[in-house]
């Protein structure tokens, strides 16, 4: 009926019902973008507003002879787990960049079952510049 309840059975039923709706429709809910990943040797993972700068970084890296590509999760949850596993198996060099302290990195690590990523995080209210991303990728090469 839409009223709050503290009835444990009702809460459990509704939480499970909602989780099942998501879990059975994950393929329909998950959205992502791949940018220049076909021949890439290094993958940048970025989401949200920072992904625009990451595209610029990919193009600059390619001008400099480094075959970079971008994976941009559009749906953060449910995460694009199958695609993350595919990227984790395909790329030895992955950089994860976020405008926070790496909270989404934990999800990527959990799904890929690895933690050897280069990271670039910033949580000071300023964007991460494409040239900062370029420098970080060049560091890891």
Q: How much helix, strand and coil, in percent to the nearest 5, is found in the chain? A: 45, 15, 35
Say which residues have a Cβ less than 8 Å from residue 56's Cβ, sequence separation at least 6: 130
φ and ψ at 98, to 5 degrees?
-145, 150
- How confident is the model at residue 3, as a pLDDT? 80
Residues 6+ apart with CB under 8 A from 78: 22, 23, 26, 29, 30
CATH number for the 26-140 domain, one of 3.10.20.90, 1.20.1440.230, 3.40.50.920, 3.40.50.300? 3.40.50.920
Query: Which run of H or of E encompasses 107?
Result: helix 103-112
pLDDT tens-digit readout, 99-137: 999 999 999 999 999 999 999 999 998 999 999 999 999
Q: What is the pLDDT along the chain (141 residues), one digit of tens a residue?
A: 678 888 999 899 999 999 999 989 988 999 999 999 999 999 999 999 999 999 999 999 999 999 999 999 999 999 999 999 999 999 999 999 999 999 999 999 999 999 999 999 999 989 999 999 999 999 998
Domain boundaries, the chain: 26-140
d(CA 121, CA 95) in angstroms, rounded, equals: 10
Containing H/E element for 129? none
Q: Which of 73, 139, 140 is nearest to 112 (CA)?
A: 73
* Distance between first and last Cα of the chain: 58
């Amino acid at each position: 009926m839409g009223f709050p309840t503290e009835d444990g059975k009702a809460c459990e039923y509704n939480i499970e019902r909602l989780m099942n709706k998501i879990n059975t429709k994950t393929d329909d809910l998950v959205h992502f973008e791949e940018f220049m990943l076909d021949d890439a040797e290094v993958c940048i993972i970025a989401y949200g507003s920072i992904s625009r700068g990451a595209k610029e970084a990919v193009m600059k890296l390619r001008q400099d002879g480094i075959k970079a590509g971008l994976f941009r999760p559009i749906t953060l949850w449910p995460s694009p787990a199958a695609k993350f596993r595919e990227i984790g198996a395909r790329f030895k060099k992955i950089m994860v960049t976020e405008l926070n302290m790496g909270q989404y990195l934990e999800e990527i690590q959990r799904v890929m079952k690895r933690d050897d990523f280069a990271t670039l995080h910033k949580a000071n209210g300023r964007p991460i510049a494409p040239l900062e991303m370029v420098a970080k990728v060049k560091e890891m090469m």
